Amino acid sequence: MMALPFVLLVGAGLAAVLGFRTVSIWIWVAALATMLYALRHHATGVLNVAL
Amino acid sequence: MALLARVLNYVAVLAIIGVLGVAFWHQLARNELPCALCMVQRAGLIGAGLGLLLNVRFGSSESHYGVALVSALVGAVAAGRQVLARVAPGTDALGPTILGLHFDTWAVLVFGVVVLFCAVMLFIEVQFMEGVRDVRVGVIAQSLAWFFVAVALANAVSTLLLCGIEACPDRPTGYVLPWK
C-alpha cells in the first residue's frame, strides 16, 4: 500500500516525459489521494492522535 | 525572465533529486531505513519535483506550481507530524542528525523552501504568457526528466522491498525480500 503513491508518481513522471501532460496531472491526483491515505494511516501511530 | 524561470525550474528539480539522493545514500550506505512517515515525505518531495518537471517539459503553468505546492504541503505535514512526535516527552528520536538537525527537521525546512520557491516563482508572470505547450524538449531537459523518473522508480522499488504490497510498519526493521 505504501508503495502505491510511488508507483503512481512513476507513472505520472513517465506520462510527463512522453508528453501526456493532462494524464500526468490526473495520475498525480491519484497519487496524492494515496499519499493522504498513507499519511492518515501513519500519522496516528505513535501518539494515537485523533486525526 | 521566462528563461530565468525555466532555468530556476531546472535547478529546483536537480535540487530535489539531490535531496532524494542524500536520503537514499543514508538508506543504502548507512542502512538507515526510512520510517513510514519518512516515505510519505519522500513521496511529497517526488510530487513537488513532478510539478516543477512539468514546467520544464511543457512550459510554466500555474497548475504545475499547484502540483508542487500541494505535494510540498502534504510532505510538510508528514514531516511536521514527525517532529512533533519526536519532541513529545517519552518518545525517542528517529535516525541521526546532519549539521545538528534531524532528518525530519531538514524535511520541514526543505518543504518550506519548496513552498517559498513556488510562491516567489508565481510572481514571474511573464513565464505564463507563452502558455502550456507540448514543446520538443532539448536533450538536457529530457535527460533530467528520465533521471527524475529513475529516481522515483528507485524509491518505488525500495518501498516495495521495505513494505511489500501491504501497509508499512511505522518503523521498518528490514527488507521484505520476495525471495526469502
pLDDT of residue A51: 41
pLDDT of residue B171: 74
pLDDT band, very low/low/confident/very high, at B133 (cuts 50, 70, 90): low
Q: Distance between CA B91 and CA B104 in Å, rounded?
A: 15
User: CA B134 → CA A20, B57, B113, distances in Å?
Assistant: 8, 8, 28
Q: What is the pLDDT of residues B149-165, one digit of tens each?
A: 999 999 999 888 888 77
pLDDT of residue A49: 47
Contact present, A45 and B81 (Cβ < 8 Å): no
Section B13-38 average pLDDT: 89
Is a pLDDT exceeding 60 seen at residue B134?
no
Mean pLDDT for chain B overall: 87
pTM of the model: 0.90
Q: Is B113 on the interface with A (CB under 8 A)?
A: no
pLDDT of residue B179: 54
Q: Distance between CA B120 and CA B109 in Å, rounded?
A: 16
Provide ipTM, 2 decimals.
Answer: 0.88
For residue A11, the one-letter residue type is G
Share of chain B above pLDDT 70, in %: 91
Residues 144-163 of B with CB under 8 A from A: 145-146, 148-149, 152-153, 155-156, 159-160, 162-163
Q: What is the pLDDT of residues A1-51, one digit of tens each?
A: 788 999 999 999 999 999 899 999 999 999 999 999 888 877 665 554 444
Contact present, A35 and B40 (Cβ < 8 Å): yes
Q: Is B14 on the interface with A (CB under 8 A)?
A: no
